[in-house]
Structure 1
């Protein structure tokens, strides 16, 4: 297994956690996307950019993952966006995920931001987390 395989396994575990998190699912009406459909309703969240780098030690192979998630809101504005960002953080910060073929060492909140999109009616929130994995296979 490579760091890329561990990154994909982590993405799958994250998606399962987010889609199974009742408070978050209620806030976005289950609209949690990797690939946003053209007719997506608001609010919704997406799995955004991801970076993976080597985090191997002398004893094991591992990866450092920098993960980004986006929230898009209309009508509920900045408050709705921040509430959803908080739910994402609650679901993932120090989550006990079990990605296939890897062990999650930890996942921590890095930063978040909110801003109005150029269309003037959409708010976008971004939250970033850092995860460390050790390859077990």
Structure 2
């Protein structure tokens, strides 16, 4: 049985880094990571919470819910909203493949933009649902 979670994350990050709208917003190369480095330019996008469960008795299909977190220092919510919109567009029903696993379905199911408690940062969260299978 393949590692669906790692394969999906690898394919997701590669797909987002290759997207021209994401690169226009997050730089070249696009600042999309599993974990953002300490001293990083803003804005950036990182994979956050992730959960998965098998959807087939044979374990070959897996349903995933991932949260992608955008961080912005822009004075308003416009930049974070633009990043989330680009992420939704880039992922909607895309076919992602890595390490013998591909998406059957992927789409954004939730998005939220909010200020940090100190009012200095804007955070955006987009939750993604994906179903993967072995190829």
SS of aligned partner of 1:68? strand
What 5-or-longer segments of structure 2 have no aligned partner?
A: none
**1:13 paired to 2:11:** yes
Alignment of 1:45-64 (within 5 A): 45-57=45-57, 61-64=60-63
**1:120 paired to 2:83:** no
- What is the count of residue pairs matched by the alignment? 133
Cα offset, 1:94, TM superposition: 0.5
Cα offset, 1:100, TM superposition: 2.2
Partner of 1:82: 81
Runs of 4 or more, structure 1, over 3 Å off, are none
Distance 1:102 1:34 in 2: 19
**1:28 paired to 2:26:** yes
RMSD of the alignment, in Å? 1.5
Cα offset, 1:105, TM superposition: 0.8
C-alpha contact (below 8 Å) 2:65/2:127 kept by paired residues: yes
Q: Deviations over 1:77-130 (max 9, x none)?
A: 211110000001111110111232223110022100011011211000000010
**1:65 paired to 2:64:** yes
30-39 or 96-105: bigger deviation: 96-105
Distance 1:89 1:83 in 2: 10
C-alpha contact (below 8 Å) 2:61/2:132 kept by paired residues: yes
Partner of 1:132: 131
Instruction: With the length of structure 1 as denominator, give the TM-score of the two structures.
Output: 0.90
Partner of 2:110: 111
